Amino acid sequence: MISHKTLRRGAGAVAALTMAFAFTACGNGGGSGSDESSSGDLTTIGFVAVGPEGDWRNANEQNIQDTFTADAGFDLKYAPAEDLDQASQIEAFDSFVDEGVDVILLSATEATGWEDSLERAKEAEIPVILLDRGIEPDDTSLYVTRIAPDNVAVSESVADWAVSEFPDGANYYVLEGPAGVSVVNERNEGWDSVMDSQTAFSKVGAQTANWSAEEAKSVVETVLKANNNDIQLIFAQNDEMGLGAVQAVQEAGLTPGEDVKIATIDGTKGALEALADGELSFVAEYNPLFGDIALDVVEKTLAGESVDSYIRVDSTTFDSPEAADKALPDRKY
């Protein structure tokens, strides 16, 4: 059985640290933040990450990297997926278990297929902390906690806004994220929990656009043509897809915000700028900046303290150009 190294936070050890911190994104999950001789006094974190996937993901993963630095007492080994491929994530995860890291942070590209790897980490006494995305089946004995905003509540807030915005109902379309991702299932759950009882609303359809503005533009172009532009509402499960929908609506000769209202989830700067310009109508934040929470959880876990199995990250909503204008100067992502 692989044992943990002791968590070290001594001020003298930090003061003595002079080597620069670096991380490498390796396809085989073997990215190393520093060589073995320089990391003896550091807590080793294996970060099984998603990698490039849009502004939200970039902000989230950079925030984690900025939090778990050598100056803070950590050797962070960053292993993003190859082209969002789960197999590369599983390989990275298993490599971290074999290496005997102190903690694994996991942002899963897909919800299922993690049981064997998580069982190996459990046997090796390596705690696993889920970031953003959950796993299915949700066996809380295999991980310490999941840190994420509440997807169900966030998408419910979008649906509640839609109901108030369209008292007489509307024809609507949903742009979904990739199939098999936990946050997509949860966002559908929250939206449907409100909209399924709204008889005045008619769901024209739903399709994945894989978080992509370009794919969303193509999907919405097709949907508008097939329905003679008779769509009043589009719910995009992330900002990029919402911005792609804006382009499609404009190219169809319609006015976003007037002829077609578009609501999104994430709260990136680009979305808030579009809301300020009247192109988007509603933006629900899905706060990516929870590195400080992850740090607290890691320290408590290694100290033997218990934490809740789901730690919800506070988020907010923006329902007007004025709200967007107010938030933009301080938006960090």
Using the predicted structure, report yes or no on whether residue 2 has a pLDDT greater than 50: no
Distance CA 249, CA 79 (A): 38
Distance CA 72, CA 9 (A): 8
Distance CA 286, CA 264 (A): 10
Indicate the fold that domain 151-286+318-330 takes in CATH: Rossmann fold (3.40.50)
Same fold, 11-148+288-302 and 151-286+318-330: yes
How many other C-beta atoms lie within 10 A of the C-beta of residue 291? 19
Give the pLDDT confidence score for residue 29 in this predicted structure. 37
Using the predicted structure, report yes or no on whether residue 151 has a pLDDT greater than 70: yes
Q: Are strands 103-106 and 261-266 parallel, antiparallel or unpaired?
A: unpaired
Using the predicted structure, report yes or no on whether residue 328 has a pLDDT greater than 80: yes
Between 180 and 223, where is the model more confident?
223
Give the pLDDT confidence score for residue 120 in this predicted structure. 98
Give the pLDDT confidence score for residue 180 in this predicted structure. 84
Using the predicted structure, report yes or no on whether residue 298 has a pLDDT greater than 70: yes
Confidence bin at 40 (pLDDT 50/70/90): low
Using the predicted structure, report yes or no on whether residue 245 has a pLDDT greater than 90: yes
Question: Looking at the domain covering 11-148+288-302, what would its CATH class be?
Answer: alpha beta
Domain boundaries of the chain, sorted by first residue: 11-148+288-302, 151-286+318-330
- pLDDT tens, 153-195? 999 999 999 999 999 999 999 999 999 899 999 999 999 999 9
> How confident is the prediction for the chain on average, in pLDDT?
89
- pLDDT tens, 49-79? 999 888 899 999 999 999 999 999 999 999 9
Sorted by sequence, the CB contacts under 8 Å of residue 309 that are 6+ apart come out as: 140, 144, 145, 146
Query: pTM of the entire structure?
Result: 0.84
Give the pLDDT confidence score for residue 133 in this predicted structure. 93
Give the pLDDT confidence score for residue 23 in this predicted structure. 34
Using the predicted structure, report yes or no on whether residue 233 has a pLDDT greater than 80: yes
Sorted by sequence, the CB contacts under 8 Å of residue 245 that are 6+ apart come out as: 175, 216, 217, 220, 234, 236, 256, 260, 262
Q: Are 129 and 144 in contact (CB under 8 A)?
A: yes
Q: What percent of the chain has pLDDT over 90?
A: 85
Give the pLDDT confidence score for residue 293 in this predicted structure. 98
Give the pLDDT confidence score for residue 92 in this predicted structure. 97
Using the predicted structure, report yes or no on whether residue 260 has a pLDDT greater than 70: yes
Beta bridge partners, 166, equal none
- pLDDT tens, 8-30? 333 333 333 333 333 333 333 33
**Two structure tokens written together for 159:** 């649906």
- pLDDT tens, 108-132? 999 999 999 999 999 999 999 999 9
